[in-house]
Amino acid sequence: MTDKRRLLITAALPYANGSIHLGHMLEYIQTDIWTRFQRARGHEVWFAWADDAHGTPIMLHAEKRGISPEALIEEMSAEHQRDFADFGLSQDNFSSTHTPTNQALVERIWQALDAAGAVTSRSIEQFHDPERNMFLPDRFIRGQCPKCGADDQYGDSCEACGATYDPTELVDPRSVLSGATPVLKQTEHFFVSLEQFRASLKTWVRSGALQDEVANKLNEWLDEPLRDWDVTRDAPYFGFPIPGQSDKYFYVWMDAPVGYLASFKEICEREGLDFDEWTRPDSGTEMHHFIGKDIVYFHCLFWPAMLEGAGMRRPTAVHAHGFLTVNGAKMSKSRGTFIKARTWLDHINADTLRYYFAAKLGPGLADIDLNLEDFRARVNADLVGKLVNIASRSAGFVHKFGGGRLAAELPEPELFQRFVDAHESIAAEFESRNFQMGIRRIMALADEANRYIDEHKPWVLAKEDGREAEVLAICTQGLNLFRTMMIWLQPVIPATAAEAAEFLGTPLNDFDSACQPLLDHPINKFKPLMKRIEAEQIERVLEASRESLAAAASEPAASAPEDEKEETDMIEFPDFAKVDLRVARIARAELVEGADKLLRLELDLGNETRQVFAGIRGHYDPAELEGRLTVMVANLAPRKMRFGVSEGMVLAASEGGGKPYLLSPDSGATPGMKVS
């Protein structure tokens, strides 16, 4: 056990303008697993976050519904918190950015920035909608990206190439509200000068606070002078007014991250904690943000600069993650291709999704696909078929032969010790957010536990006279292995773990208690902890979301006419840029029974493992491929095949239909490295 740490943990703020969907839940579940793990290790942990409640979209949505913005955000907060509770999120406080506490902190930071000479003002030209008679936020202007030429891009950033820019740089801009061509008008705005923080930001970026991919991207930005950050929005606007101004408001990204601290300040006032001590740079506390990779710019440039200007501690770490797809299709609120959290909860156990996400989450920025068939198969195999099965096969015999009391000794302590020996490795995987590897280690041990039960066959021995004590001992061993794994998995499947704790008659929320066996201890009657996921449940989720999923499903696949097959179909750079090529090590290669041309490859990407079926059988000896580096398409939608799910594609070259040659990178390449 390490020394006790003090941690403030946050998740990105959901916008108070719509329902929670599974894309949101990917992050919130990841955050909660890590939070619960840290608590289980005995650390002082506070999980604080809030609804992001400001901005023009909320103002317009409330106007459309004929209610006040305050009524809208109160309604959405209640809905969000119901979803969070039913998904087992364990936040200590969920607040709103529209609170007096947050306003006071925003003004405190603003005054500190002003006193440090980081605030300037000047007249700028900004797009104005002549029909709605209002200045347009960046996201209410769309046009052609000035960098790559992609159409229908937002006014502040391009989804195709990732470039950021000013809305005035868009080509052929239009107002999202009215469709009118916006006109440029003069307005006075306030700016935060980021350039004076550039040197200290470069030091922070190299401090280990960020993943390598994020740090490398930030270093590119920090190699150039930083532009001043426009933090003003003109009336009409729903937000905090800038002190001393009658018609100027803080941009939502000015007050949103402060909402982390405001929510925590409410905890401090409730629990008697010293907020200023926690937020001092030399406090010895930790602050961890979990965010999507699309908001790195705000959290890793603007936010640490604001904190430095205010004399407050910077984040210990910002943990960015990739996006979620469902059955290979991109989720998008604007296009409606999302499954709401409540839709899922109406039909399927929340812990099953928590487990599936954990089984796929690594510490990097790779996108994750919720393949619903793979989800069902994995949950049924791992949680029902392996984990819960151990308890269900053992509990009855403990009541029958031990009066509901476990034996006083383990018959095979060396098997229990093998589980104990894995404890710190599993803890290290959870600490580094490499949940998928932690899950893999646990499930490998679950296989061992099931083998033990299968080999000793207590159901057979129970029929023989005089074997009662032996059966009790075997089942005591099995239940101890089950208990150890449930302690490790408690951060992942908390509701199931709570039911298991009731069955075992002992808490399961102390991570290190996994190393001590439970002996001569009464247990309660076993109740089924988890049911198999049936195909009908998946179909009901899809049916309930059919309207939102229909758009993606109905898009025709692109193909060339038959008489043009020999011609090269030209694609634009934004299309090519979507292809994520990664170096992969072939960890395992094997023949696929029943397939003439396929090999099953297990590909190591550094922070995750993928299964890929490749049509190279007959050209390569599987044993010769193992350990070899190759290149794969990492963001290809998973494809269901008769033999399993293929999670990508390896690249090969051939001429005239001859032997395929797997592409390999130069020596020195490492798994997970991006090919560019």
Same domain as 157, residue 67: no
CA angle 248, 255, 285 (to 5 degrees): 150
What band does 292 get if pLDDT is binned at 50, 70 and 90? very high
Tell me the pLDDT tens digit for each residue of 560-609. 222 222 233 344 555 566 788 889 989 888 887 767 678 889 898 877 88
Q: Which of 472, 437, 439 is nearest to 458 (CA)?
A: 472
Give the mean pLDDT of the chain.
90
Identify the domain containing residue 382 by its residue range.
371-515
Q: Let me know whether 376 and 498 are in one domain.
A: yes
Residue 430 lies in a domain: yes
Is 568 a member of any domain?
Answer: no
Q: In this structure, is the dihedral angle defined by the CA atoms of residues 54, 59, 64 and 66, taken in order, positive or negative?
A: positive
Written as one letter, the residue type at 376 is R
- 444 pLDDT above the threshold of 80: yes
Residues 337 and 405 in one domain: no
Number of domains in the chain: 4
**375 and 507 share one domain:** yes
pLDDT of residue 163: 84
Q: What is the CATH number of the domain that holds 311?
A: 3.40.50.620
CA–centroid distance for 301 within its chain: 21
Residue 277 lies in a domain: yes
The CATH number assigned to the domain holding 456 equals 1.10.730.10
Residues 482 and 378 in one domain: yes
CA distance 518 to 464: 27
Residues 84, 147 within the same domain: no
One domain for residues 168 and 241: yes
The stretch 171-189 carries a mean pLDDT of 93
Angle, vertex CA 375, rays to CA 373 and CA 379, nearest 5: 125
Q: 143-162: buried (b, 16+ CB within 10 Å) or exposed (e) per residue?
A: bbbebbebeebbbbbbbbbe
Question: Angle of helix 535-544 relative to helix 372-379, nearest 10 degrees?
Answer: 140
Is 300 annotated as a binding-site member? no
Pick the range with the lowest mean pLDDT from 344-348, 392-396, 405-409, 547-551. Answer: 547-551
Q: How far is it, in rounded angstroms, from Cα 53 to Cα 98?
A: 6
Q: How many Å apart are CA 76 and CA 348, to the nearest integer?
A: 23
Would 113 be classed as within a structural domain? no
Question: 423 phi and psi, to 5 degrees?
Answer: -60, -55
Statement to judge: residues 18 and 101 lie in one domain: yes
Q: Assess if residue 55 is contained within a domain.
A: yes
Residue 600 structure tokens? 């099953």
For the packed helices 435-456 and 423-431, what is the interaxial angle rounded to 10 degrees? Answer: 150
**Is position 531 within any domain?**
no
Cα diameter, the chain? 94
The stretch 182-187 carries a mean pLDDT of: 94
pLDDT given at position 596: 66
334's tokens: 């604007």
Tokens 């908390």 — which residue?
A: 494
Whether pLDDT at 559 is above 80: no
CA distance 548 to 478: 45
DSSP string covering 183-251, please?
EEEEEEEEEE--GGGHHHHHHHHTTTSB-HHHHHHHHHHHTSPPPPEE-EEESS-SSPBPTT-SSEEE-
Q: Give every CB contact of residue 49 below 8 A, 6+ residues apart in sequence.
A: 10, 11, 12, 13, 91, 93, 94, 95, 259, 260, 263
Does residue 468 have a pLDDT over 50?
yes
pLDDT at 573: 52
Quick: pLDDT tens for 124-157.
998 999 998 899 888 789 999 999 999 989 888 8
Provide the pLDDT confidence category of residue 652 given band limits of 50, 70 and 90: confident
The CATH number for 631's domain is 2.40.50.140
From the CB of residue 550, how many other CB atoms can be counted at a distance below 10 Å?
12
- Bridge partners (DSSP) of residue 522 are 405
Q: Are 145 and 41 within one domain?
A: no
Q: What is the distance between the alpha carbons of residues 544 and 340, in angstroms, rounded to a whole number?
A: 9
Confirm whether residue 161 is marked as ligand binding. yes
CA–CA separation, 295 vs 291, rounded Å?
7
26 close to 304: Cβ distance less than 8 angstroms: no
pLDDT digits (tens, 9 = 90+) for 229-284: 999 999 999 999 999 998 999 999 999 999 999 999 999 999 999 999 999 999 99
Q: What is the pLDDT of residue 497?
A: 98
Return all residues near 30 (Cβ < 8 A) that are at least 6 apart: 290, 319, 321, 357, 358, 361, 433, 435
What is the C-alpha to C-alpha distance for residues 501 and 483, in angstroms, rounded to an integer? 8
d(CA 534, CA 376): 7
180: domain CATH number is 2.170.220.10
Could you give the residue ranges of the DSSP H alpha helices within 284-412?
296-297, 303-309, 341-347, 350-360, 372-379, 389-402
Q: Is 537 within the bounds of a domain?
A: no
Please check the confidence at residue 552 and state whether its pLDDT lies above 70: no
Could you say which DSSP state residue 12 is in? P
Is 515 marked as a binding-site residue? no
Decide if pLDDT at 514 tops 70: yes
Locate tokens 């347009």: which residue? 136
Shared domain check, 157 and 92: no
Q: Determine contact, residues 12/323, Cβ cutoff 8 Å.
A: no
Note whether residue 549 is domain-resident.
Answer: no
The residue from 497, 515, 533 where one domain ends is 515
What does the DSSP assignment read for 43-77?
Answer: -EEEEEEEEB--SHHHHHHHHHHTS-HHHHHHHHH
pTM, two decimal places: 0.79
Q: How many CB atoms lie within 10 A of CB 392?
A: 16
Residue 333, annotated as binding a ligand: yes
Identify whether residues 378 and 483 lie together within a single domain: yes
Is the dihedral angle over the CA atoms 539, 341, 347, 488 positive or is it negative?
positive
In terms of domains, do 129 and 240 share one? yes
